[in-house]
Chain A
Amino acid sequence: MTRYVMTIDLRRCVGCQTCTAACKGANATPPGIQWRRVLDIESGEFPDVKRTFLPVACMHCANPPCEEVCPTQATTKRADGLVVIDYDLCIGCANCVMACPYDARSIVHEPHYAYNDTAMASEAKRFDPSRIGVSMKCTFCKDRIDYAAVSGMIPGVDHEVTPACVNSCISGAMGFGDIEDPESGVSRLLAETQHFRMHEELGTEPGVYYIWDKS
């Protein structure tokens, strides 16, 4: 079995938002919608104050609450662990948006463009009407993952079949691969570091691992 996961080394992330921009470029999300974001969290009290950059998106949970509540089966979990949405089935009821504890989903009810109501040529070319009025979120760049299956390339190793955010990360904070393969980069990295998954207490079993220290 294959289970694709993402690793994010919080020790390395510098909050540059390059992954955010890369995601936007790769997926042509409308203004105001970011499938990937990097949050800036300040904690502690003066003078012991810490700042953490936290990249977040869909966690591609092994036990996705969005899939459970979806009344249309538009949201499904694939055999390789990716949680995907069929835009042709979704009715835009937003139940999945409420069920997701990671603020990962959004619905756009009307087309929005960067400058007023008129799309720029680049926006018009990539506008996808099937994404209006339905739920959408990070797909782990599933087209690339699907291409891996036919090309024989390895996600997380070969850039052509690796999510755009991972490819773009300037500090090497993000990793991607098959956690079921003990020789994969993510498996080896997780074996030698301490990490957590967000909101694990909710039983969602997220597929994104945040590294915070060495073993």
Chain B
Amino acid sequence: MKLSTLRAAELAAPKQQRNWDWRAATNFICGGAGGGLLFCAAFAGLGPVAMQAAVLLGLVLIGCGLTCVWFEIGRPWRALNVYRHIATSWMTREAIVALLVFAAGGLTLLTNQAALLLLAGGLGLGFLYSQARILAANKGIPAWRHPRSIPLMVATGLAEGAGFLACVMSLASGGAGFAVLTGLIVLIGVRAFLWKAYLDALVADGAPDGTLKVLNGMAPRLLLVGHILPALAVMAAMAGMPGRAALAFAAGILAVAGGWFLKFTLVRRAAYTQGLAVPRIPVRGKGTAGAGAKPGWKPV
């Protein structure tokens, strides 16, 4: 077979996307965690020091993500054009919510008002939801456009936020309380459930072979690092084992690490394009039409 034929054939199959690199992934990784942290902090009944630390960390995470994505876009000095399409673009909506998050978070830092923290938390959730919808709106990437990716992205952002909150409370107020630890383990459980539901649905509904290979390959590591180990650490802390603050801190870090591993894999490694297909093979000469071809996909 000629080289040109090989290359042309390969072009039809799904390919790993190369336009959104680690900088775009960082926006989802840090921004989602920051939004989740603001939301969790709003309901944690934090003292002044922990509140300041949590809000500051949440804003820094969101700012870090947006800065990274600013460095990725092709025309960074036109970045304000991002506000031009609120009617349908979730990227525009994310950018607007980000402004409001920084305003509400900044005021919370200045005043320490619980009501403002509540507002910042709600906006943080809005930011997280916008990010989930950005991914899901991309029809060219089957792993993203699946409707179950939305609750998964929101759940992992909240679990990461609860993880960061446990860390902040371990450092700033002598350890996370029972309520925060309960919230953390519930969110880890919800994320594990939604991850399984997402993966099962992706297999059932069909996805590029490359996507399924990557996601199935990372599943055992995610289960161990992102779900089992942090859940065990939380249970040990709740059971009153020695080093409670350290256990809560470790649980928080593991919950965050698992979520970041999941999002990096989803945005970078598992993001295979739709690829191109022919539903019917055309009639040639005196031959007959044939069944279609969809390179890089298993038949559903």
Taking a contact as CB atoms closer than 8 A, the residue among B12, B19, B271, B291 that contacts A39 in the complex is B12
Query: Is the CB of A111 closer than 8 A to any CB of chain B?
Result: no
Least CB distance, A164 to chain B, in whole angstroms: 21
A214 to B282, CA, bound (A): 10
A101 to B141, CA, bound (A): 7
* Given known contacts A54-B12, A71-B82, A95 and B138 CB-to-CB distance under 8 angstroms: yes
Q: Is the beta-carbon distance between B137 and A90 smaller than 8 angstroms? A: no
* Given known contacts A69-B89, A71-B82, A107-B74, A213 and B290 CB-to-CB distance under 8 angstroms: no
How many chain B residues touch A (Cβ–Cβ < 8 Å)? 56
With a CB–CB cut-off of 8 A, which chain B residues contact A72?
Answer: 78, 81-82, 84-85
Q: Is the beta-carbon distance between A204 and B281 smaller than 8 angstroms? A: no
Q: Which of A107-150 contact B (CB under 8 A)?
A: 107, 109, 132-134
* Given known contacts A91-B75, A98-B141, A212-B281, A54 and B276 CB-to-CB distance under 8 angstroms: yes
Q: Is the beta-carbon distance between A68 and B89 smaller than 8 angstroms? A: yes
* Given known contacts A71-B84, A133-B75, A199 and B277 CB-to-CB distance under 8 angstroms: yes
Q: Is the beta-carbon distance between B140 and A65 smaller than 8 angstroms? A: yes
Query: Is the CB of A168 closer than 8 A to any CB of chain B?
Result: no
Least CB distance, B139 to chain A, in whole angstroms: 4
With a CB–CB cut-off of 8 A, which chain A residues contact B290?
Answer: 43-44, 50
For B65-106 the 0/1 string (1 means CB < 8 A from A) is 000010011111011011111001111100100000000000
Least CB distance, B230 to chain A, in whole angstroms: 31
Closest to B295 in A: A41
Query: Is the CB of B289 closer than 8 A to any CB of chain A?
Result: yes
Taking a contact as CB atoms closer than 8 A, the residue among A11, A98, A133 that contacts B140 in the complex is A98
* Given known contacts A40-B5, A40-B9, A103-B273, A65 and B137 CB-to-CB distance under 8 angstroms: yes
With a CB–CB cut-off of 8 A, which chain B residues contact A213?
Answer: 280, 282-283, 289
Taking a contact as CB atoms closer than 8 A, the residue among B17, B75, B141 that contacts A134 in the complex is B75
* Given known contacts A11-B283, A73-B84, A93-B91, A41 and B9 CB-to-CB distance under 8 angstroms: yes
Query: Is the CB of B110 closer than 8 A to any CB of chain A?
Result: no
With a CB–CB cut-off of 8 A, which chain B residues contact A40?
Answer: 5, 8-9, 12
Known: A39-B9, A103-B273. 12 other contacts (CB 8 A): A40-B9, A54-B12, A71-B92, A72-B84, A91-B79, A93-B69, A94-B20, A98-B271, A100-B139, A132-B74, A212-B280, A212-B281
Binding site for A on B (CB under 8 A): 5, 8-9, 11-12, 15, 17, 19-20, 24, 69, 72-76, 78-79, 81-85, 88-92, 95, 134, 137-141, 144, 271, 273-284, 287, 289-293, 295
A-B contact pairs, 15 of them (CB 8 A): A10-B282, A38-B8, A39-B276, A41-B9, A42-B293, A43-B278, A43-B291, A52-B278, A65-B139, A89-B84, A91-B74, A94-B72, A95-B134, A99-B138, A102-B276
